[in-house]
Every structure is written in C-alpha cells, then in structure tokens.
C-alpha cells in the first residue's frame, strides 16, 4: 500500500516501534510516580483515618471560614464537601459574582461579591474568620500573562493579607504540582512565588497543596484541558495517584488536614500526599495506618 510517495510497508515497522517505545517510556514514568511513596504516608493516612473523630470536637467550637474562588471547579467541590460535613457555624463564599448554590448548601453559607481590584474595601468580611481556603486561579490563555499574575498572585496574596489581619489562623492554598519560584514557566513560577510569600505572612498554620492535573466537572469549556483529560482517563484508572487528582480528593484532603491537630506551622502536600490525606483515594491502600495498626 502506498500513501503519497511513502510505501506503508517500509515505514510501519518503524512507526510501530516508535509508538511502542513511547508507550513503554510513559508506562514506566507513570508506574514510577504511582509506586513512589510520600515520605509521610503514615502521618497522612492517620490524619485521614482520624478525621471523623476529630470533626465532632471541631464542630463544637463554632468556627467560621471563608472560601475565596468558590465559583471555580475546586471551590465548588470544596463548598459541597464543607456543606456535607457541617463543620462551621458560618462560611463566607467570596467571589466576583454570585452563583446559584445547590439546595443542600445550608444557610450558614453566605455569598459575598467583591471587587478584587478594591479588595481592601472588603476587609470586614475577614474579621474573626479563623479558617481560610483559597481556590482562586485563572489561566494565561484566558487572562493573558499580566491577568494571570493579577489573579494567581496579587488577588491570592491580598486575600491572605486581609485574612491574616482579620484573625485567620489557618490558611489553605491550592497551588500546583511542580510549583517552584525559580521555574522558567510562568504558571509554576507564580505558584512557587505565592507559596514563598504566604510563608512570610506567618499564619499560625499554612497548608499548601500541590495537586496534579485536576479531574472532575468543569462548567467552563477548556478544549486543551478536555483533550488532555481524555488521554489521562486511562492513566488515572491505571495509576490513580501518579499525576492526576480528582477535585473531591483535593477538597477532602484539605478538610481532613484542617481537622487534624497542628503539628507544624507550614505543611506542603504533594499530589501523593493529597491522595493519602483525602481518605477516599488509593493513596493509603497498603498503608498500615489504614486499619489503625500503625497509630502512634
């Protein structure tokens, strides 16, 4: 068979070998990331296992929280998980627009529409709110490089400063896998810079989560991401904790971590650790702490 000037029988073996090599390389890469354990697997899995018990004591304290970026994909899942868990007496949902909340979101959730360019004017929202969750973010494709920095750096940092002034004790930030202030990529560099600047604010407790590629429902259409997710579905099936993170796993990990007593001021969770903390992912399968056998 011939295609243009190329004889198929001449190139097929070469193409086949190339595809096989790439498949083997990718398989080895994903397998390596899947079997690599987080250095604190026992701590993380124990925190997940103890979350239900911890939640009872936590609820009685009647704390308040805020979620900035609650209209986004992760923010919405976090809102749902917090609504199910009923941990707070009040949750302030901070965003640039109001959305229809699901019927099962209780009255303790209150939407606060703000102008992020005048964020200082809304300092009162943060008064006496001890727990903060930041799921803000945009993409360079959507907002341009400057717009991306404005949201992913400036708005995030301003929310953290206002939170600290208002009395926030525990700030939770959704960063990204490979965040690095020295990265040559704007996305990972910005996230890395924000992580460093958040540390400098010196919250009593700061939790930085670095999920992999997020999987879950997204209202907004992102064709590039949709294509990537199509190819990542089998990867997520075979290697669930390697490079992908379902959004509910991120939300549950944030909550379980928050419920655990603080043992250090700054916590940095890579993707594997997020899976372990969530208590719903395969991250803890095989860990002794799953059955309580390794509790300290």
- Measured from the CB of residue 164, what is the shortest distance to ligand NAP in angstroms? 19
DSSP 129-166: --EEEE-----HHHHHHHHHHIIIIIIHHHHHHHHHHH
Longest dimension (CA), the chain: 76
Of the two residues 58 and 70, which places its CB atom closer to ligand NAP in the complex?
70
84 is catalytic: no
Burial 252-288 (b: 16+ CB within 10 A, else e): bbbbbbbbbeeeeeebebbbbbbbbbbbebebbeebe
Catalytic residue among 191, 229, 252, 272: 191
Question: Where does this chain bind ligand NAP (CB under 6 A)?
Answer: 69, 71-75, 95-97, 116, 135-138, 151, 174, 176, 211, 213-214
**Which tokens go with 142?**
């959507």
Between 107 and 221, whose beta carbon lies closer to ligand NAP?
221
Chain centroid offset of residue 53 CA: 24
Question: To the nearest whole angstrom, how small is the minimum distance from the Cβ of residue 171 to ligand NAP?
Answer: 14
Residue 191 a catalytic site member: yes
Q: Which of 59, 187, 189, 199 is catalytic?
A: 187
Neighbours of 8 (CB within 10 A): 10
**DSSP per-residue codes, 181-244:** TT-SSHHHHHHHHHHHHHHHH--SEEEEE---EEES--SS--HHHHHHHHHHHHHHHHSTTTSE
Nearer to ligand NAP, 97 or 296 (CB): 97
What's the closest the beta carbon of residue 284 comes to ligand NAP, in angstroms?
21
CA-CA distance, 104 to 194, in Å (whole number)? 34
Contact 73, 173 (CB under 8 A): no
Q: Which is nearer to ligand NAP, 10 or 100 (CB)?
A: 100
Least Cβ distance, residue 287 to ligand NAP (angstroms): 24
Min CB(178)–ligand NAP separation in Å = 9
Distance CA 280, CA 220 (A): 26
The 3-state secondary structure of 37-76, one letter per residue: CCCCHHHHHHHHHHHHHHHHHHHHCCCEEEEECCCCHHHH
Q: Which is nearer to ligand NAP, 71 or 207 (CB)?
A: 71
Q: How far is the CB of 21 from ligand NAP (least distance, A)?
A: 27
- Residue whose CB is nearest to ligand NAP in the complex, by number: 72
Of 135 and 260, the one with the shorter C-beta distance to ligand NAP is: 135
Residue positions annotated with a catalytic role:
187, 191
């Amino acid at each position: 068979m011939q295609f243009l000037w190329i004889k198929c029988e001449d190139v097929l073996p070469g193409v086949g070998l190339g595809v096989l090599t790439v498949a083997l390389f990718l398989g080895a890469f994903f397998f390596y990331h899947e079997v690599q354990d987080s250095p604190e697997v026992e701590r993380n899995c124990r925190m997940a296992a103890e979350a239900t018990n911890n939640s009872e004591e936590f609820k009685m304290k009647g704390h308040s929280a805020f979620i900035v970026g609650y209209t986004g994909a992760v923010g919405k899942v976090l809102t749902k998980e917090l609504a199910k868990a009923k941990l707070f007496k009040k949750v302030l949902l901070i965003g640039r627009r109001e959305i229809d909340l699901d019927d099962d979101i209780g009255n303790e959730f209150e939407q606060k529409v703000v102008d992020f360019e005048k964020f200082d004017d809304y300092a009162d929202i943060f008064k006496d709110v001890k727990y903060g969750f930041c799921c803000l973010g945009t993409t360079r494709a959507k907002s341009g490089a400057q717009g991306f920095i404005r949201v992913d750096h400036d708005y995030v940092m301003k929310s953290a400063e206002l939170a600290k002034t208002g009395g926030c004790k525990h700030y939770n930030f959704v960063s990204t896998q490979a965040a690095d202030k020295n990265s040559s990529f704007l996305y990972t560099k910005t996230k890395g810079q924000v992580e460093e600047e958040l540390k400098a604010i010196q919250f009593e407790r700061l939790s930085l989560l670095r999920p992999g590629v997020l999987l879950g429902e997204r209202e907004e259409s992102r064709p590039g991401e949709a294509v990537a997710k199509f190819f990542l579905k089998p990867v997520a099936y075979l290697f669930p904790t390697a490079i992908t993170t379902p959004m509910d796993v991120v939300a549950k990990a944030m909550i379980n971590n928050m419920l655990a007593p603080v043992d250090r001021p700054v916590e940095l969770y890579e993707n594997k650790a997020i899976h372990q903390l969530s208590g719903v992912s395969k991250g803890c399968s095989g860990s002794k702490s799953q059955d309580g056998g390794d509790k300290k």
